[in-house]
Amino acid sequence: MKSKIFNKIKKAYLLAIVAAFVLGNGLLLAPKVFALTYLVKPQIILTNMNATGSSSVIIEFTTSASNTGTSLSLTFTGWTGGAAGSVNTVQPVSANYNSIACTAITGASSYLPGVPAATGSGATVTFSGITTLTASHSYCAVLSSATAVTNPTVVNSYPAVLTSGTDAASGVAVDVITNDQVVVTATVPPSFTLVVGSNTDAFGTLSTIAANASAGVTCTLSTNGTGWYLYGIDSNAGLTSANTSHTIPALTFGTNKTISAGTEDYITGLPSGSTTPGTGGGSVTLPAAYSSSGLGNGAGLGNTQLRNLASYTVGPTSGATVVVKEFTSITGTTPAATDYTDTITLVGAGTF
Amino acid sequence: MGYRSTKNLAIFTSLQLLIISVAVGLVSATGIPSGVHGITVSPALQQISIPRGQPSYTFNTGLANNTSQTVVVQLSARDFTGLNESGAISFLTPQKSNSNVHSLAQNITFELSQFVLTPYQTTTVPITIVNANELSNGGHYAAIIYKVTSAPVHGISNPVSVNEAVSSLVFVTTIGTGTQSLALQYASIGDISLTFPNTVNLVLTDKGNTQTVPTGVVQITNANNAIVSQTEINTTSNLILPQFSREFKISLTSYKFNPPTGYYTFKFYYKTPAQMGYSLYEKKFIFISRQAVILAVVILVLLIVLIAQRVKSIARINPRDKYSA
């Protein structure tokens, strides 16, 4: 009788132990072995990884084959405030970071479905407003505030936990480093371009009764520096004919004058109405000596020194133009020839 | 009929050939190329520091032929000096170059003094400064001139040939041998101003023997020493040649709108790269605002009116006094 009672008690204990084992297996062990699903390749991006810095957060994950949940939360483990790092309570959610779609940044297929919103509490950001997730689908979202999180002051790799729908919580790591910025420097050297429209400037047949003007040569000047100067020098100090060994001389240098028919003279002038400043605006300056009305006034260049013909000191410009013209007058006794010639060299320089 | 059409065809073809041959003849006679002759030099200016005692120094400049023509470029070096206060140069004649203590042209050599640039070609031109250890103390500078030589012109009566050249300015300092010293020559700030200064002209002179890049800050402060307006000078790193002056036209950025009438202080902090601290120029001035001027005018007008009325009333009283007397 006594042993029967003992056996009954023993059976009851055994049943209880078996029941406890079955219950424990069902609740704790079995789900992890058989039924649990996981997020695929979750990632958390801090847009500013600097220690002590604040950052927006970009989230990306792929649901498992059975996850059709509607929840999402992100916990920065240990970011409880102050030097340990913190999570802002106000968490605007966006599909973009700096106007770039999170899908483009992360490669995810789509932004979170529904009208996602989020709030921060402690170290956790909890999302709401997400509609049913699609299984085996990659999603992204941006906690767009520049102060969504404040990074810890100590450089380290910190754990975070991302939980979504029916999938198990997934651990990820975020790095906080000393400096995540690379300062890029570059120097653009000043450059200068001179375009001379033509290498020849013909007078044609010279007249004894009026001042003769050449067609003129257009010079186009460009610089990314602070300005430019144009200089000129004459090789012959006049129009020289090899056939007659005669030179129509430049009578004065560097002083503005108007030539007159009946006197041999040869000068250079830049018509003031033909200058343009290019893209830099402002105006081209013509020195008094070489500023011309275009009607036979200017100054001799000479062959001893480069003389300033024009300048522009406003700043960078492209396509500024000046026209360089020559004027000459002859007498009735100037020896006839068709080979009167001269060579002018125009030198452009940037300002210093 | 067949004969006539053949004859017409022959005449037409002959005319066409004649026109083409005349056109080709004209083009070849003028020798005028169809394209433009633009060339670009970069850098247009460069500063070089040569360690003391180093005998030579080689540096590069870039040259680009932007045209569809092959061009021949001749290299030369020429000394220059300052022309005015705006950064212009004056090329020196060989005679003046010899007496120039900042001369550099004679120390410049080229691997090739002449080379060809094919259409749209860019090339690097190495340039060497020789006998650098024999340069006198202080700064030295010269222009490298790249001259595009033109083919002789035929077939045009009385032509003027035009050569083009671009230059690259080279400024050399020999480390440890130069002195840089700035002096303010002029500041366009008066004692009394009826408009608050928003642009100021400053003229600085380099009293040293080396070219320098001045830096500095201009401030206008009120009686409480609060900054009313401010700006930085020479943000484009312009140079001042030794013993030359340079004008800086600056625009001030205002931090307070409609400054009231009162005493203000113009402060100019300036220095050379070699200086540790800034030199300071200060000038106090009185600014009288437009509102104050209007108020003064109104008070003046009222005073005049009051005085006029007073004079009138005295004039009315006086005759009686006269008669009573």
pLDDT tens-digit series, residues B50-88: 998 899 999 999 999 998 889 999 999 999 998 878 888
CB of B149 closer than 8 Å to CB of B72:
yes
Residue B7 has pLDDT above 60, yes or no: no
Mean pLDDT of A224-252: 91
Q: In terms of DSSP bridges, do strands A72-76 and B215-221 run parallel, antiparallel, or are they unpaired?
A: unpaired
Q: Which residues of A touch B36 (CB under 8 A)?
A: 195-197, 220
Residue A205 in domain: yes
Pairing mode, if any, of strands A124-130 and A114-121? antiparallel
Task: Answer whether residue A225 is part of any domain.
Answer: yes
- B92, closest residue in chain A (CA to CA): A305
Q: Is residue B127 part of a domain?
A: yes
Q: A341 and B158: CB-CB below 8 Å?
A: yes
Last residue of a domain, one of A148, A176, A204: A176
Task: Tell me which chain A residues have a C-beta less than 8 angstroms from the C-beta of B150.
Answer: 199-200
Confidence of residue B20 (pLDDT cuts 50, 70, 90): very low
Query: Average model confidence (pLDDT) for chain A?
Result: 89
Contact list, A345 vs chain B (CB under 8 Å): 147, 162-165
Flag if B164 and A352 touch (Cβ within 8 Å).
Answer: no
Residue B145 lies in a domain: yes
Cβ pair B161:A199 closer than 8 A: yes
Does residue B161 sit at the A interface (CB-CB below 8 Å)? yes
Average of pLDDT values for B300-316?
Answer: 90
Whether residues B128 and B195 fall in one domain: no
pLDDT at A136 over 70: yes
Residue A182 in any domain: the answer is: no
Determine contact: B324 vs chain A, CB below 8 A: no
For residue A314, the chain B residue with the least C-alpha distance is B86
Please indicate whether, in this complex, the C-beta atoms of A308 and B32 are within 8 angstroms of each other. Answer: no
pLDDT value, residue B17: 44
- Sort out which chain A residues have CB atoms less than 8 A from B239's CB and list them: 352
Using the predicted structure, report yes or no on whether residue A28 has a pLDDT greater than 80. Answer: no
The whole-number average pLDDT for the span A225-237 is 91
- Report which of A171, A149, A146, A61 is spatially closest to residue A106, judged by C-alpha positions: A61
B160 to A226: CB separation less than 8 angstroms, yes or no? no
- Token pair for B295: 């108020």
Residues 6+ apart with CB under 8 A from A12: none
CB contact under 8 A, B44 and A199: no
Q: Is the pLDDT of residue B320 over 70?
A: no
Most confident of A6-10, A330-334, B149-153: A330-334
The percent of residues above 90 in pLDDT, for chain A, comes to 66
Same domain flag for A151 and A268: no
Kindly state the tokens that stand for A230: 């144009």
pLDDT at A347: 94
Same domain for B216 and B138: no
Checking if the pLDDT of B116 tops 90, the result is: yes
Judged by CB atoms closer than 8 Å, whether chains meet at B40 and A191 is answered as yes
Q: DSSP string covering A111-155, please?
A: EPSEEEEEEEETTEEEEEEE-PPPTT-EEEEEE--TTSEE--SS-
Assess if residue B58 is contained within a domain. yes
Full residue range of the structural domain in which residue B90 is found: 35-154+161-174
Q: What distance in Å separates residue A236's CA from the closest CA in chain B?
A: 10
Q: Which residues of A touch B41 (CB under 8 A)?
A: 191-193
Residue B271 domain-assigned? Answer: yes
According to DSSP H, which parts of chain A are helical? 2-24, 30, 102-106
* Distance in angstroms (rounded) separating the CA atoms of residues B144 and B61: 9
Shared domain for B69 and B130, answered yes or no, is: yes
In a domain, A28, yes or no: no
Domain-embedded: residue A19: no
Q: Choose from A187, A192, A199 for mutation: most chain B CBs within 10 A.
A: A199
For residue A26, tell me if it sits in a domain: no
Q: Does the pLDDT of residue B25 top 50, yes or no? A: no
Task: Note whether A88 and A155 are same-domain residues.
Answer: yes
Looking at the structure of chain A, the number of domains it has is 2
Residue B302 inside a domain? The answer is no
Residues A110 and A218 in one domain: no
Q: What is the CATH number of the domain that holds A237?
A: 2.60.40
Closest Cβ–Cβ partner in A200, A308, A352 for B161:
A200
pLDDT average, residue stretch A72-80: 94
| Best of B97, B100, B160 to mutate (most A CBs within 10 Å, chain A) | B160
Helix (H, G, I), strand (E, B) or coil at A29: helix
Residues 6+ apart with CB under 8 A from B81: B89, B90, B92, B100, B102, B241, B244
Q: Are residues B110 and B74 in the same domain?
A: yes
Domain match, A62 and A102 both: yes
CA B127 to chain centre: 25
CA–CA distance, A204 with A217 (Å, rounded to integer) = 15
Same domain as B280, residue B249:
yes
Of the candidates A145, A176, A207, which is a domain's last residue? A176
Q: Are residues A222 and A311 in the same domain?
A: yes
- Considering the domain boundaries, does residue B305 fall inside one? no
B157 neighbourhood in chain A, CB within 8 Å: 202-205, 338-340
pLDDT at A323 over 90: yes
Q: Residue B5: which pLDDT band, with cuts at 50, 70 and 90?
A: low
Confidence of residue B315 (pLDDT cuts 50, 70, 90): confident
Task: Evaluate whether residue A11 is within a structural domain.
Answer: no
**Domain-embedded: residue B67:** yes
| pLDDT tens per residue across span A343-352 | 999 999 988 8
Q: Is there a single domain that holds both residue B63 and residue B170?
A: yes
> B35 falls in which pLDDT band (50, 70, 90)?
very low
Total count of residues recorded for chain A: 352
Domain boundary among A176, A206, A225: A176
Q: Domain check: are B286 and B199 in the same one?
A: yes
Q: Which residue has the higher pLDDT, A176 or B6?
A: A176
Average the pLDDT over A132-157 and give the result.
93
Contacts of A269 in chain B (CB under 8 A): none
Query: Taking CA atoms, what residue in B is nearest to A304?
Result: B93
Domain extent for A330: 192-350
Q: Are residues A218 and A342 in the same domain?
A: yes
CA distance B263 to chain A (A): 33
Record: contact A338-B41, CB cut-off 8 A = no
A49/A142 same-domain check: yes
Say whether the ipTM exceeds 0.85. no
Same-domain check for residues B244 and B216: yes
Chain A partners of B169 at a C-beta cutoff of 8 Å? 349-350, 352
Residue A216 has pLDDT above 70, yes or no: yes
User: B73 and B202, same structural domain?
Assistant: no
Whether A203 and A121 map to the same domain: the answer is: no
Nearest-angstrom CA–CA distance, B62 and B275: 33
Q: What is the pLDDT of residues B203-253, one digit of tens each?
A: 999 999 999 999 999 999 999 888 899 999 998 889 999 999 999 999 998
- Mutation for A interface: B162, B211, B239, B251, most A CBs within 10 A: B162
Confidence of residue B171 (pLDDT cuts 50, 70, 90): very high
B280 belongs to a structural domain = yes
Residues of chain B neighbouring A192 (CB-CB closer than 8 A): 40-42, 44, 166-168
Lowest mean pLDDT: which of A282-286, B128-132, B286-290?
A: B286-290
- Give me the residues paired with residue B284 across strands: B265
Same domain, A213 and A263: yes
Question: Is the same domain home to A137 and A276?
Answer: no
* pLDDT given for residue A19 in this prediction: 66
Do the Cβ atoms of A345 and B147 come within 8 Å? Answer: yes
Q: Is residue A257 domain-shared with residue A167, that is, in the same domain?
A: no
Whether A106 and A159 map to the same domain: the answer is yes
Residues of B within 8 A of A313 (CB-CB) are: 86-88
Cα A254 to chain centroid, rounded: 47
Q: Which residues of B touch A195 (CB under 8 A)?
A: 36-38, 66, 164
pLDDT in the model for residue B4: 53
- Using CB atoms and an 8 Å cut-off, which of residues 214-253 of chain B contact chain A? 236, 238-239, 241
Q: With beta carbons less than 8 A apart as the criterion, state whether B120 and B68 touch.
A: yes
CA distance linking residue B131 with residue B148, whole number of Å = 28
pLDDT at B34: 38
Dump pLDDT digits (tens) for A159-198. Answer: 999 999 888 889 999 999 988 777 787 778 889 999 998 8
Chain B closest-CA separation from residue A63 CA (Å): 55
Structure tokens at B85: 């206060």
Which chain A residues have a beta carbon less than 8 Å from that of B33?
199
A278 domain-assigned = yes
Q: State CA A281 to chain mean position distance.
A: 24
CATH of the domain at B109: 2.60.40.10
Same-domain status, B169 and B186: no
Mean pLDDT of A48-71: 91
Same domain, B145 and B221: no
Our count of domains for chain B comes to 2
Domain check: are B197 and B69 in the same one? Answer: no
- Cβ of B161 within 8 Å of Cβ of A342? The answer is yes
The whole-angstrom distance between B259's CA and the closest CA on chain A is 30
